[in-house]
């Protein structure tokens, strides 16, 4: 199998030949589109650091969801922006909270979409941390579990299809699974942000979700970027506690973790192509430094190739359109 007997370029000469041996494929149904929902009517607030992303009132959220579904994307991930914040994030588990109202509206208006709800307290707490903060300024892991479980349960009662805990408290998957099962929601899956790093790529998201910590950082509960084995252990623990899918966040700096989780857990793996990754591509494309479509599709392909079964990405709508356009193109025969 060496030159000149084997010439790999033979199978690269045309688009048709290349497609015959293509190992990795993208399809809109593997994308999940994140959505930010806020109170009000006809609200569409642009997120300055994320071109094309908006904070939406429920009526506009529905229109956005309909467009998403029309593109062949099958799932959305909901983040709520409450009117009221307090030390314990009570709006997160309010039955009439913004996320709960959005879930009910989406399931009624666009029932074919799978609605995933992010379970965390950071958007709802006045201090911006993902759990309850003690008087000494530390996040109380065990006290936070009860509130996270209440939040997940309130989403299930609103009709959500999937809950996705992103807080990184120890034991939260077990606490949520137990709460859901005891209340008759044993069929609601848990997509765990199992391997979530304390990353510098989250900045634009914190503007979109209005959830920047008011003091300190999240390094005591999100993972050290230097650690790989620990990331696999976190996923294994969450699976043992009842997770139905595990996740790596961010995606691009941690492709090795996506690969490891897929092969070592043998469980479905999601990857979150996060706000900072999105913003960098958008900024470079606006300046004409890169071909946006080519870079986005290569990026998503690399995440898929690493082993992701599901890709959460702000590029989902654009990528779905580009995939549709490619399918509509006539065969180009020999090309360069």
- The answer to whether residue 10 sits within a structural domain is no
Q: How far apart are CA 320 and CA 209, in angstroms?
A: 24
Q: How many domains does the chain have?
A: 1
Q: Catalytic amino acids?
A: 196, 249
- 90: DSSP letter: G
In this prediction, residue 201 carries a pLDDT of: 94
Q: Which residues pair with 102 in a beta bridge?
A: none
Per-residue pLDDT tens digits for 319-336: 999 999 988 876 544 444
Per-residue pLDDT tens digits for 171-205: 999 999 999 999 999 999 999 999 999 999 999 98
In this prediction, residue 330 carries a pLDDT of: 63
Per-residue pLDDT tens digits for 277-300: 999 999 999 999 999 999 999 999
> What sign does the dihedral 211-212-215-220 (CA atoms) show?
positive
Which range has the worst mean pLDDT, 69-73, 83-87, 180-184? Answer: 83-87
In this prediction, residue 216 carries a pLDDT of: 79
- The answer to whether residue 30 sits within a structural domain is yes
- The answer to whether residue 152 sits within a structural domain is yes
Question: What percent of the chain lies above the pLDDT cut of 70?
Answer: 98
CATH number, domain with residue 280: 3.20.20.70
Per-residue pLDDT tens digits for 27-58: 999 999 999 999 999 999 999 999 999 999 99
Range of the domain at 43: 24-328
Q: What is the mean pLDDT of residues 134-161?
A: 96
The set of residues, in sequence order, having a beta carbon less than 8 Å from that of 116 and lying 6+ positions away, is 32, 75, 76, 77, 78, 160, 161, 162, 163, 164, 191
What global pTM score does this model have? 0.94
Q: Is the pLDDT of residue 153 over 60?
A: yes
- The answer to whether residue 6 sits within a structural domain is no
């Amino acid at each position: 199998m060496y030159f000149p007997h084997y010439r790999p370029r033979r199978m690269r000469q045309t688009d048709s030949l290349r497609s015959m041996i293509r190992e990795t494929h993208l399809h809109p149904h593997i994308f999940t589109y994140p959505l930010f929902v806020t109170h009000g009517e006809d609200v569409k607030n642009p997120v300055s650091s994320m071109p094309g992303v908006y904070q939406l009132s429920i009526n506009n959220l529905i229109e956005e969801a309909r467009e998403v579904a029309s593109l062949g994307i099958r799932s959305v991930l909901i983040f709520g922006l409450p009117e009221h914040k307090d030390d314990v994030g009570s709006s997160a588990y309010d039955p009439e909270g913004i996320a709960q109202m959005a879930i009910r509206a989406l399931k009624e208006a666009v029932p074919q979409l799978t609605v995933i709800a992010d379970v965390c307290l950071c958007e709802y707490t006045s201090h911006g941390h993902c759990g309850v903060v003690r008087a000494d300024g530390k996040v109380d892991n065990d006290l936070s579990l009860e509130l996270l479980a209440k939040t997940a349960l309130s989403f299930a009662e609103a009709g959500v299809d999937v809950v996705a805990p992103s807080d990184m408290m120890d034991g939260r998957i077990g606490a949520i699974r137990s709460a859901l099962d005891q209340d008759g929601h044993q069929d609601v899956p848990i997509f765990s942000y199992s391997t979530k790093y304390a990353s510098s790529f989250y900045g634009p998201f914190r503007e979109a979700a209005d959830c920047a910590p008011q003091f300190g950082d999240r390094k005591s509960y999100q993972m050290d970027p230097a650690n790989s084995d620990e990331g696999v252990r976190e996923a294994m623990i969450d699976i043992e506690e009842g997770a139905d899918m595990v996740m790596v966040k961010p995606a691009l700096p941690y492709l090795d973790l996506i690969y490891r989780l897929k092969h070592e857990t043998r469980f479905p793996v999601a990857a979150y192509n996060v706000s900072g990754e999105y913003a960098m591509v958008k900024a470079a494309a606006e300046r004409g430094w890169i071909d946006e479509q080519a870079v986005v599709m290569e990026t998503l392909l690399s995440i898929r190739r690493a082993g992701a079964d599901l890709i959460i990405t702000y590029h989902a709508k654009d990528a779905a359109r580009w995939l549709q356009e490619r399918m509509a193109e006539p065969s180009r025969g020999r090309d360069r």
